[in-house]
């Protein structure tokens, strides 16, 4: 079902991977709309297509069939450099293994997306400080990742994902490598950023701790949507979107 | 861009052990080239200066006819008014001295045995003024003998084959400028080691007046000009041109490099060897670096995937890898320059000598010159080599599929 006001429209998207003598269908004609300001979890067992869906929404993979629209732009029609620019400006990524640049400090890691966007030095410094403050890591700004705990690293990753104020933040199993205390803190942090800054978060997870805090859950099984709790959240998202606009 | 440079610089030292190994390899290549090239440069300089000071001089002036036709008789195409020519060039800047010479051939005999010689007649005072002293194995240099004896120096090979020693007499025979046969008795006052075995087996040196008496001519074959520095040869040759005009004979001149056939052969041979070594080092650095950089790329696959996911333009990834390789090359060059020069200083201080090379009869000193052009060339070579080596890993890194790279373990 396509909604013209949605931030992301996934329209009848399929993704098949060719193996040596066969093909695996990771997503099978999947349709999904994500509104601005949503805090959405994609859950399901291993191999259900969660990461594949996130990769497609994040424009780091291309669907075999169907199309994905971000802010109304058909991403399948974009050139490689346009896709790269879209990711740079509109999307923030949080990875399960944090994926911080090990030779950069926390502040430099957060600064990187701004560097790629060619933002001025003074503006970069201001935004980095703000982002680190948002995640409560101002005091650890000059520490390299190997001197940070797992929870701190993931918070740096979140600061990096939000520093350029993207329209959409995609997080692939963000709590999978964290203990319960850090996972809970992280979930609360993301939920807080979602509420206060109006950032749109989309997660893939099967972490029950995260699911408990998520207003909308899309469950995938064998590349199809098994259930979507969007009915209850839709009204909330619309109210939020209206208040932001 | 500063941050990008910082990223590249820090990445270089990410895997310290591997970086140290790479720097040692690159530095070793540079140091090797500096030592070999520095030794060759020392050898070239030594050969050049010994060639010049063995009598070739920096510039030689001839009657132009000397190169146009073969002489029917000795000194047929010699310089007749040589004192005037010598005076004309002696006053030029950088000229240390001008020495007249006669080159001639003949037979020498000890009364029992005869042998062919290659003779050179010189003005001993003029030669000494330019430090063109012969390398004496025994005896002394020529002097105008007060007793009227005609003095001669002979090569070590001549002395051996003719069984003569200092103080012994020899008879030399030659064809005069008129085509007649003439002979004089000489006394051997010194035995010379020219450094060239073939020449030592034929070498005879007498004074200019003695040769003019023997050859019945007041001409000379050429005038040998010695300069303060070899580097001034071209400038002085240019200054000579107007000074050699308007004389009774047409004059021509040759620079030392035009006459030093052996020097040129040696230089060409060793330059070829050095080029070959340079190519080997270049490819050694190239291949080893490609391997190292590919390993680095594999290790950083997920990180590159993350950077690409965040919208890093692919050319930036290429530039990052090339920058890292270039930084490694520069650091390796610095290691090589420091190491090579230190080893060079140590070798120079050790006073090493090498056995005589083929064709020479004296030991050769082992010295390494510190040649700035060589340092720049070797450094540039390894930097370029590393930059080239990074192209394949850099392009591979930039072409990674992001989703696959992020899933890389």
Reference B253, options B53, B66, B70; nearest CA is B66
Sign of CA dihedral B35, B36, B40, B46: positive
Q: Tell me which of A94, A116, A128 to substitute to probe the interface with B (most B C-beta atoms closer than 10 Å).
A: A116
Report how far residue A169's alpha carbon sits from residue A37's, in angstroms, rounded to the nearest whole number. Answer: 10
User: Contact A99/B314, CB-based, under 8 Å?
Assistant: no
Which among A91, A95, A108 is the nearest to B406, CB-wise?
A: A95
Which among B7, B308, B401 is the nearest to A104, CB-wise?
A: B7
User: Contact A80/B314, CB-based, under 8 Å?
Assistant: yes
User: Contact A84/B14, CB-based, under 8 Å?
Assistant: no
Q: What is the predicted ipTM?
A: 0.88
Q: Is B409 exposed, middle or buried (0-12, 13-18, 19+ CB in 10 A)?
A: exposed
Report how far residue B403's alpha carbon sits from residue B405's, in angstroms, rounded to the nearest whole number. Answer: 5
What residues does each domain of chain B span? 2-51+263-406, 80-248
CA distance A28 to chain B (A): 19
What lies within 8 Å, CB to CB, of B276 at 6+ separation is: none
pTM of the model: 0.77
**pLDDT tens-place string over residues B76-132:** 889 998 999 999 899 899 999 999 999 999 999 998 999 999 999 999 988 888 888
A233 pLDDT higher than 60: no
**Cα separations (Å) of B381 from A48, B36, B326?**
54, 15, 11
**pLDDT tens-place string over residues B391-408:** 999 999 999 999 889 888
User: Contact A116/B316, CB-based, under 8 Å?
Assistant: yes
Report how far residue A148's alpha carbon sits from residue B146's, in angstroms, rounded to the nearest whole number. Answer: 97
Per CATH, domain A8-244 is 3.90.940.20: no
User: Contact B311/A80, CB-based, under 8 Å?
Assistant: no
Lowest mean pLDDT among A43-47, A241-245, B39-43, B195-199: A241-245
A1 pLDDT higher than 70: no
CB contacts of B3 in chain A (<8 Å) are 108, 111, 115
CA distance B408 to chain A (A): 11
Query: Residue B138: enclosing H or E segment and its boundaries?
Result: strand B136-139
């Amino acid at each position: 079902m396509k909604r013209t006001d949605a931030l992301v429209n996934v329209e009848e998207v399929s993704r098949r991977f060719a193996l040596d003598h066969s093909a695996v269908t990771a997503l099978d004609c999947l349709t999904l709309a994500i509104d601005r300001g949503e805090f959405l979890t994609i859950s399901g067992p291993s191999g259900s297509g969660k990461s594949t869906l996130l990769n497609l929404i994040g424009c780091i993979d291309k669907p075999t069939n169907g199309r994905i629209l971000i802010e109304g732009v058909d991403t399948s029609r974009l050139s490689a450099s346009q896709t790269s620019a879209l990711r740079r400006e509109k999307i923030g990524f949080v990875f399960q293994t944090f994926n911080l640049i090990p030779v950069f400090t926390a502040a430099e890691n957060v600064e990187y997306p701004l560097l790629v966007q060619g933002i001025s030095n003074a503006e970069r410094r201001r935004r980095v400080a703000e982002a680190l403050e948002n995640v409560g890591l101002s005091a650890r700004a000059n520490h390299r990742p190997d001197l940070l705990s797992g929870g701190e690293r993931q918070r740096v990753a979140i600061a990096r994902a939000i520093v350029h104020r993207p329209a959409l933040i995609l997080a692939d199993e963000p709590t999978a490598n964290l203990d319960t205390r850090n996972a809970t803190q992280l979930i609360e942090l993301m939920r807080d950023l979602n509420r206060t800054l109006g950032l749109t978060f989309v997660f893939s997870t099967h972490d029950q701790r995260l699911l408990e805090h998520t207003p909308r859950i899309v469950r995938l099984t064998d590349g199809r949507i098994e259930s979507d709790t969007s009915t209850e959240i839709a009204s909330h998202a619309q109210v939020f979107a209206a208040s932001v606009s | 861009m500063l941050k990008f440079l910082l990223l590249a610089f820090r990445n270089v030292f990410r895997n310290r052990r591997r970086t140290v190994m790479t720097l040692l390899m690159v530095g070793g290549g540079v140091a090797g080239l500096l030592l070999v090239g520095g030794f060759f440069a020392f050898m070239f300089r030594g050969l050049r200066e010994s060639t010049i000071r063995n009598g070739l001089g920096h510039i030689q002036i001839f009657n132009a006819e000397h190169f146009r036709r073969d002489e029917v008789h000795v000194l047929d195409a010699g310089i007749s008014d040589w004192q005037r020519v010598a005076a004309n060039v002696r006053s030029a800047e950088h000229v240390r001295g001008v020495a007249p010479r006669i080159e001639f051939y003949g037979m020498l005999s000890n009364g029992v045995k005869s042998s062919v010689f290659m003779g050179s007649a010189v003005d001993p005072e003029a030669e000494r003024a330019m430090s063109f002293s012969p390398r004496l194995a025994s005896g002394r240099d020529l002097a105008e003998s007060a007793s009227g004896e005609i003095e001669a120096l002979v090569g070590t090979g001549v002395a051996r084959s003719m069984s003569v020693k200092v103080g012994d007499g020899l008879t030399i025979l030659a064809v005069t400028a008129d085509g007649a046969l003439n002979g004089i008795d000489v006394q051997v006052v010194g035995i010379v080691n020219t450094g060239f075995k073939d020449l030592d087996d034929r070498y005879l040196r007498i004074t200019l007046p003695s040769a003019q008496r023997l050859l019945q001519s007041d001409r000379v074959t050429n005038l040998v000009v010695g300069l303060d520095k070899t580097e001034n040869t071209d400038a002085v040759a240019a200054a000579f041109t107007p000074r050699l005009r308007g004389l009774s004979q047409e004059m021509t001149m040759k620079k030392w490099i035009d006459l030093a056939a052996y020097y040129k052969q040696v230089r060409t041979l060793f330059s070829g060897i050095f080029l070959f070594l340079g190519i080997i080092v270049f490819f050694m650095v190239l291949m080893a670096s490609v391997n190292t950089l590919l390993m680095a790329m594999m290790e950083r696959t997920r990180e590159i995937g993350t950077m690409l996911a965040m919208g890093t333009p692919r050319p930036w990834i290429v530039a990052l890898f090339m920058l890292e390789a270039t930084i490694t090359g520069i650091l390796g060059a610095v290691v090589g320059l420091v190491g090579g020069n230190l080893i060079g200083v140590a070798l120079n201080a050790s006073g090493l000598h090498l056995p005589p090379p083929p064709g020479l009869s004296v030991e050769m000193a082992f010295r390494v010159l510190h040649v700035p052009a060589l340092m720049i060339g070797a450094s540039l070579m390894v930097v370029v080599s590393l930059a080239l080596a990074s192209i394949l890993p850099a392009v591979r890194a930039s072409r990674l599929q992001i989703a696959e790279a992020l899933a890389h373990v």
